[in-house]
Amino acid sequence: MYSFRITEDTGRCVDRIEELRRQLDHGTPLPRLWLGRTRRDVEAEAVAASTGLEGVPVTVDEARRILAGDRPPSVSPHDAALVEGYRDAMRYVLGRADDPNFVWHTELLLALHHRILAGSRGAEAGRLRTVQNWLSHTGTGESVYLPPAAEAVPQLLDELTGWLQATGTPAPVTAALAHVRLAGIHPFRDGNGRAARIVASLVMYRAGYQSPTFTSLEEWWGRHPESYYEAFSCLGATWDTDADVSEFVAAHVHAQATQVEALSLRNAVERALWTVVEDIASLDLGLPARTANALFDAVHAREITNRYYRGLGEVSQVTASHDLAKLAASGLLDARGAGRSAHYVGTDRLIDAVTAAVGVPAERVPPQPELAQRRDALLAAVAARLHDA
pLDDT tens column, 65-81: 999 999 999 999 999 99
pLDDT at 10: 95
| The predicted structure's pLDDT at residue 214 | 73
d(CA 60, CA 49): 8
In a domain, 272, yes or no: no
For residue 94, what pLDDT band results from cuts at 50, 70 and 90?
confident
Q: Is residue 267 part of a domain?
A: no
The domain that contains 253 carries what CATH number? 1.10.3290.10
Q: What is the pLDDT of residues 215-255, one digit of tens each?
A: 778 888 988 999 999 999 999 999 999 999 999 999 999 99
- Is there a single domain that holds both residue 202 and residue 290? no
What 147-153 contacts at long range (C-beta under 8 Å, 24+ apart), as own/partner pairs, is 147/184, 147/185, 147/186, 147/239, 148/185, 148/186, 148/239, 153/128, 153/129, 153/185, 153/187
Residue 13's domain comprises 8-260
Q: What is the per-residue pLDDT for 376?
A: 94
Residues 193 and 304 in one domain: no
111 with 29, same domain: the answer is yes
Instruction: Quote the pLDDT of residue 211.
Output: 75
pTM: 0.86
Domain shared by 220 and 338, yes or no: no
Per-residue model confidence (pLDDT) at position 138: 64
In a domain, 378, yes or no: yes
- Cβ contact 40:34 at 8 Å: no
Rounded average pLDDT over 16-42:
73
225 and 324 both lie in a single domain: no
- For residues 321 and 227, membership in a common domain is answered with no
Q: Is the pLDDT confidence value at 40 over 90? A: no
User: CA 33, CA 278: separation in Å to the nearest integer?
Assistant: 10
Total number of domains in the chain: 2
**Within this chain, do residues 254 and 289 fall inside the same structural domain, yes or no?**
no
* pLDDT value of residue 43: 87
Q: Please, which pLDDT band fits residue 137 given cuts at 50, 70 and 90?
A: low
Q: Across the chain, what does the average pLDDT equal?
A: 91
Q: Is residue 151 part of a domain?
A: yes
- The string of pLDDT tens digits covering residues 350-389 is 999 999 999 999 999 999 999 999 999 999 999 998 877 6
Choose among 295, 263, 300: nearest CA to 377. Answer: 300
What CATH number should be reported for the domain holding residue 381?
A: 1.10.10.10
Co-location of 85 and 218 in the same domain:
yes
